[in-house]
Structure 1
Amino acid sequence: MASKLQQLQSKACQATQFLSKHGTTYYKQMLEQNKQFIQEPPTVEKCNELSKQLFYTRLASVPGRYESFWKEVDYVKHLWKNRQELKVEDAGIAALFGMECFAWYCAGEIVGRGFTFTGYYV
């Protein structure tokens, strides 16, 4: 156990040394590559303005999302009415989607419990 701890400390020390040598170069390179996204002057007021723009832009997109949601619901209702004509491929896609939703739910539960698997018997 002590050897594992010493190995971990050694790796952490190597990573720290690498970052101290190459961190500023990477930082400057990243800023240079993405300079078209940087707002000038970089002030608190500008950041507050941008956050408000993002918030109200997202808020303005709600009616379009609402409309799209109800179109999807109508499509599902139409499929359910005509389920006799449903193809195997469509049923398979729906089943996979349901399984994916369940998997994301389980993953969220695990993350919410702090990555513990208590309560599940696998």
Structure 2
Amino acid sequence: MAARLAQLQSKACQAKQFVAKNGGAYYKKLMEENKQYIQDPPTVEKCNELSKQLFYTRLASIPGRTETLRKELDYVKHIWKNRSDIHVPELGIVTLFGLECFCWFCAGEIVGRGFTFTGYYV
């Protein structure tokens, strides 16, 4: 156990040295590549304006999203009506999708409880 701890500390030290050495260059490169997205000067008023633009743009996209949801639900209803025509590969895909949704739900519950499996802090 102590050997693993020493190994972990060594790896962490190496990572820290790498970030200290290359972090500034990476930051400059990242900012240079994405300078078209940077608002100059970065004032509070401009940040508030951009925040409102994002919020109302998201609100404006709701009708399109609801239309897409309606189409998806109509497709599911159509498949449910014709469920006798479903083949094994399609059934497998639906089963895997349901299982994935359930697993994401379980993972979200665990994360929401602070990574505890019982729900209590011990």
Common topology (TM > 0.5)? yes
Give the corresponding residue for 2:40.
Answer: 40
Question: Shift in Å at residue 39 of structure 1?
Answer: 1.7
Q: Which amino acid aligns with 2:34?
A: N
Change (3 A) 1:9 1:67: same
Identity, % of aligned positions: 71
The reply on whether 1:105 has 2:105 as its aligned counterpart is: yes
Question: Shift in Å at residue 18 of structure 1?
Answer: 3.3
Tell me, in whole angstroms, the C-alpha distance in 2 between the residues paired with 1:104 and 1:21.
38
Unaligned runs of 5+ residues in structure 2 are none
Work out the number of aligned pairs and report it: 119
Question: Shift in Å at residue 29 of structure 1?
Answer: 1.1
1:75-114 aligned within 5 A: 75-114=75-114
Tell me, in whole angstroms, the C-alpha distance in 1 between the residues paired with 2:47 and 2:91.
47
Change (3 A) 1:2 1:66: same
Question: Shift in Å at residue 19 of structure 1?
Answer: 2.9
Cα displacement string for residues 32-84 of structure 1 (whole angstroms, at most 9, x for unaligned residues):
11112112222221111111111111100001111111111111111111111
The reply on whether 1:116 has 2:116 as its aligned counterpart is: yes
**After the TM superposition, which segments of 4 or more aligned residues of structure 1 sit over 6 Å from their partners?**
none
RMSD, aligned α-carbons: 2.1
TM-score when scaled to structure 1? 0.82
- Name the SS of the counterpart of 1:74 in structure 2: helix
Give the corresponding residue for 1:59.
Answer: 59
Unaligned runs of 5+ residues in structure 1 are none
- Name the SS of the counterpart of 1:47 in structure 2: helix
